[in-house]
């Protein structure tokens, strides 16, 4: 480990570190525009100049210079100061300086660094260059006259997203950043270039001209659009969430978020349920809470213990526990969270968990994907696979061929291939210290036993490593399984219940349920349309809740805004209903509910990664069936919030279905 001095302070840095990283370890702030910790080094903005001895008597770019033994680095000499001021002047030569109308205003690196490291006056007299706007799709708005050619967006698209559709054309002063043929960027991660852009060249199109950052209330929360559990920050003004931004968590999402995570928030204020409804003469009519509860109570009296609860994909653990407690007081344990009809074995949670962990899968050396389109089912796990490939991992896949953004050897769609894997695969897995199998929803039902058999066949479990992984697609799935939301026969066991509660469940076959249906949710979607009584609940942004991601990580989000109208937090609805039914639940506050939930499921008591015991069930190892497709047919319209979002509808139309959407001037 090299030892060197930074402004006279001796430090020791890891082998391979750059001078910029050494300066940061010494507590020095180095300005930069093109350098980013998670992208390759470009070294083209030259803002990170420092003075280095021994070396030529001129400033050097610290981001591209390796740290070496006995170096002396100076970050605040007159030479460095003058050099940075000169670079800042060059960067601002053609910049339009339109901060008052720029959406990046208030959180712009160029603003901040021009104040901190630029000159205190301007010397410009010449005309500025203008660049025509580029079209990058429904998510990213461009004002390319502001661009300083840092190339962060290009490197992100190529290295992280795996979609090489952003690049540079022309040279020198005429250089421009554009998408391929100025068409929409087809990546489900395209919104991240807005965060990466250090100026206002790339901004959020749905959020355009909505608010300034100092107007917004920031709330830490957890994303529910998939099962990854992306850590997010919800920015709200008044009673509306205006945007969702990712928070850095290296164990889960690093600092990225999918476009669905970012931009489905405009669906939170559309098609909302804001009052109870009761079906009378075939139509849903508005009602009071007392009337709705009285109607449910009448049905519950005759239902006996024939009461069921179906958990939707977005629901939190508190809601599921409150419903479970209410059903238990009525003498029922008919709970199910796999609303689409899957009925795989859940006797061992370790056998349905992502055991390698999201961050750990980066270290896998051989990977077999079984029935999963990771790009749509867990986009931020897919980026980890790309990182594993860069380290030398090889990937095989079983299922219909699809574009995963990396090279995979496809073995066909017949699940029976699990019983006769090619020799090249078995040899690679035999030589790998960290082999991994990832089973998706497309194969979990027909090939769960066969996939578990690979644990022995391919040697997936080694000292400190468990390479058996299952990908879930619903934010509520692992929490629901921990709380017992699973029946051996699947959701079919609930069809004959005389009273069924649907907790934000919109994807199940409601025609199969013969009894009285009560929908507790936040959007007037499929579930509300099929219900006999509708009770308006709160979305994930309107309540504090606990969610468990696909790797078994317990995480908690906070309430950003209040539900609209008469809508209430879901657990409070079940608490109030329990009093009407004569079976009062033993909690009145969120804290009391969480204490009771911790007694029922101790793993939910604290945030953090839960380690499930590895005791897989003995299942039939014969894989059956030919996969015709994957569970997710449209990445942008997977739940009620997305379907209510104009942005997600446009993304679906343009990026999935290929519709041509004209701009206003067209």
24-60 pLDDT, tens digit each: 999 999 999 999 999 999 988 899 999 999 888 899 9
Coil vs helix vs strand at 409: strand
Q: Which residues lie closer than 8 Å to 8 by C-beta, 6 or more apart?
A: none
Per residue in 267-319, pLDDT tens? Answer: 999 999 999 999 999 899 999 999 999 999 999 998 888 999 999 999 999 99
Sign of CA dihedral 517, 523, 529, 534: positive
CA-to-CA distance for 341 and 492, rounded, in angstroms? 7
- The answer to whether the beta carbons of residues 540 and 316 sit under 8 Å apart is yes
Q: What is the pLDDT of residues 157-193, one digit of tens each?
A: 999 999 999 999 998 888 999 999 888 899 999 999 9
The rounded distance, in Å, linking the Cα atoms of 414 and 342 is: 19
Give residue 216's region: left, alpha or beta (phi > 0; psi -120 to 50). beta
Query: Is the pTM of the predicted complex or chain greater than 0.75?
Result: yes
Across the range 449-456, mean pLDDT stands at 91
Q: Which are the contacts of 371, defined by CB distance < 8 A and separation ≥ 6? A: 398, 399, 415, 439, 440, 441, 442, 443, 444, 447, 627, 630
Mean pLDDT of 352-375: 94
The confidence band for 128, taking pLDDT boundaries of 50, 70 and 90, is: confident
Q: At what angle do helices 289-303 and 570-580 cross, to 10 degrees?
A: 60
Phi, psi of 501 (to 5 degrees): -100, 130
Closest CA relative to residue 345, chosen from 508, 491, 490: 490
The pLDDT value recorded for residue 124 is 81
Task: Measure CA 480 to chain center.
Answer: 19
Angle between helices 570-580 and 317-329 (to 10 degrees): 10
The answer to whether the beta carbons of residues 513 and 532 sit under 8 Å apart is no
Query: Cα(458)–Cα(551) distance, rounded to whole angstroms?
Result: 21
> Are residues 167 and 154 in contact, defined by beta-carbon separation less than 8 angstroms?
yes
Q: Give the containing element (helix H, strand E) for 486.
A: none
CA distances from 229 to 241, 374, 436, 481 (A): 19, 15, 21, 16
Instruction: Copy the structure tokens of residue 395.
Output: 């990937």
pLDDT at 662 over 80: no
Residue pair 70/162 in contact (Cβ under 8 Å)? The answer is no
Predicted confidence (pLDDT) per residue in 630-655, tens digit: 999 999 999 999 999 999 999 999 99
Q: Which residue has the tokens 């600092």?
A: 255
Mean pLDDT of the chain: 92
Structural domains in the chain, CATH included, are 3-92 (3.10.20.740), 99-204 (3.30.70.20), 277-337+483-609 (3.40.50.740), 355-470 (3.40.228.10)
Rg (CA), the chain: 27
Alpha helices per DSSP H over 468-551:
477-482, 526-530
Residue 246 — φ and ψ, nearest 5°? -75, 145
CA distance 400 to 301: 49
Separation between Cα atoms, residue 389 and residue 29, nearest integer Å = 33
- Above pLDDT 70, what percent of the chain? 99
Q: What are phi and psi of 175, to 5 degrees?
A: -60, 135
In which region does residue 353 sit, left (phi positive, over 0), alpha (psi from -120 to 50) or beta (all else)? Answer: beta
**Looking at residue 146, what DSSP letter applies?**
G
Q: Is the dihedral of CA 177, 182, 187, 189 positive or negative?
A: positive
DSSP 237: E
55-69, 216-230, 276-290, 571-585: least confidently modelled range = 55-69
* pLDDT, average across residues 445-461: 90
Q: DSSP letters of 253-300?
A: TBT---HHHHHGGGGGGSSB--S-EEEETTEEEE--HHHHHHHHHHHH
Task: Give how far the C-alpha of residue 547 lies from the chain's centroid of Cα atoms, to the nearest Å.
Answer: 13
- On the question of pLDDT at 1 being above 90, the answer is no
Please state the length of the chain.
666
Mean pLDDT of 542-551: 95
Could you tell me the CA-to-CA distances from 82 to 49, 59, 88, 95, 205 in Å, in that order? 10, 10, 10, 20, 37
Rounded CA-CA distance 19/42 in Å is: 15
pLDDT higher than threshold 60 for residue 665: no
d(Cα 491, Cα 337) in Å, to the nearest integer?
Answer: 8
CA distances from 481 to 186, 352, 477, 547 (A): 34, 9, 6, 12
**Torsional class of 211: left (φ above 0), alpha (ψ -120 to 50), beta (otherwise):** beta
Can you tell me the distance from the alpha carbon of 459 to that of 482, in angstroms, rounded to the nearest whole number? Answer: 27
pLDDT digits (tens, 9 = 90+) for 468-487: 999 999 999 999 999 999 99
> Greatest CA separation found in the chain?
90
């Amino acid at each position: 480990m090299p030892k060197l001095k930074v402004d006279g302070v001796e430090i020791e840095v890891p082998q391979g570190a750059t001078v910029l990283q050494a300066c940061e370890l010494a507590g020095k702030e180095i300005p930069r525009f093109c350098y980013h910790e998670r992208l390759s080094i470009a070294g083209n903005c030259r803002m990170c100049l420092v003075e280095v001895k021994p070396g030529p008597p001129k400033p050097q770019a610290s981001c591209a210079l390796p740290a070496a033994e006995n170096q002396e680095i100076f970050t605040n000499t007159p030479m460095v100061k003058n050099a940075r001021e000169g670079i800042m002047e060059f960067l601002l030569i053609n910049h339009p300086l339109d901060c008052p109308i720029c959406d990046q205003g208030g959180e712009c690196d160029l603003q901040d660094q021009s104040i901190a490291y630029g000159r205190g006056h301007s010397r410009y007299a010449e005309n500025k260059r203008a660049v025509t706007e580029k079209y990058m799709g429904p998510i990213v708005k461009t004002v390319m006259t502001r661009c300083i050619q840092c190339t962060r967006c290009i490197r992100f698209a190529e290295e992280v997203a795996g979609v090489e559709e952003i690049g540079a054309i022309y040279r020198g002063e005429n250089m421009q950043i554009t998408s391929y043929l100025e068409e929409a960027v087809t990546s489900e991660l395209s919104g991240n270039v807005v965060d990466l852009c250090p100026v206002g060249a790339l901004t959020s199109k749905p959020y355009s001209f909505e608010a300034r950052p100092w107007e917004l209330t920031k709330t830490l929360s957890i994303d529910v659009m998939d099962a990854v559990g992306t850590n997010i920050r919800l920015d709200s003004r008044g009673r509306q969430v205006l945007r969702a931004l990712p928070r850095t968590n290296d164990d889960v999402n690093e600092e990225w978020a999918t476009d669905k995570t970012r931009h489905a928030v405009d669906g939170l204020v559309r098609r909302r349920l804001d009052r109870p409804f009761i079906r009378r003469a075939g139509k849903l009519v508005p009602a009071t809470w007392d009337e709705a509860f009285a109607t449910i109570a009448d049905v519950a009296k005759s239902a006996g213990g024939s009461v069921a609860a179906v958990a939707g994909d977005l629901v939190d653990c508190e809601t599921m526990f409150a419903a479970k407690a209410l059903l238990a007081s009525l003498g029922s344990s008919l709970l199910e969270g796999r609303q689409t009809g899957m009925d795989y074995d859940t006797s061992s949670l370790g056998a349905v968990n992502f055991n390698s962990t999201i961050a750990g899968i980066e270290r896998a050396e051989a990977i077999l994907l079984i029935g999963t389109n990771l790009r749509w089912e867990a986009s931020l796990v897919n980026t980890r696979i790309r990182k594993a490939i860069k380290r030398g991992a090889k990937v095989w896949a079983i299922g219909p061929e699809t574009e995963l953004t990396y090279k995979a050897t496809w073995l066909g769609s017949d699940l029976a291939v699990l019983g006769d894997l090619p020799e090249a695969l078995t040899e690679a897995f035999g030589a790998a210290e960290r082999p991994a199998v990832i089973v998706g929803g497309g194969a979990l039902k027909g090939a769960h036993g066969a996939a578990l058999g690979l644990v022995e066949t391919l040697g997936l479990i080694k000292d400190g490593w468990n390479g058996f992984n299952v990908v879930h697609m619903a934010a509520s799935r692992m929490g629901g399984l921990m709380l017992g939301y699973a029946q051996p026969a699947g959701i079919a066991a609930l069809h004959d219940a005389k009273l069924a509660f649907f907790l934000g469940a919109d994807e199940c076959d409601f025609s199969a349920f013969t009894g009285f249906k009560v929908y507790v949710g936040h959007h007037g979607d499929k579930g509300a349309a099929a219900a006999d009584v509708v009770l308006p609940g709160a979305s994930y942004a309107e309540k504090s809740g606990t969610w468990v991601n696909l790797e078994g990580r317990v995480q908690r989000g906070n309430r950003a805004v209040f539900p609209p109208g008469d809508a209430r937090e879901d657990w409070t609805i079940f608490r109030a209903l329990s009093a009407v039914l004569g079976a009062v639940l033993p909690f009145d506050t969120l804290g009391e509910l969480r204490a009771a939930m911790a007694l029922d499921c101790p793993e939910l008591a604290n945030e953090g990664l839960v380690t499930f015991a590895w005791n897989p069930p003995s299942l039939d190892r014969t894989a059956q069936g030919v996969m015709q497709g994957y569970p997710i047919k449209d990445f942008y319209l997977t739940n009620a919030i997305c379907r209510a979002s104009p942005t997600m509808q446009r993304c679906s139309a343009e990026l999935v279905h290929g519709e041509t959407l004209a701009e206003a001037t067209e």
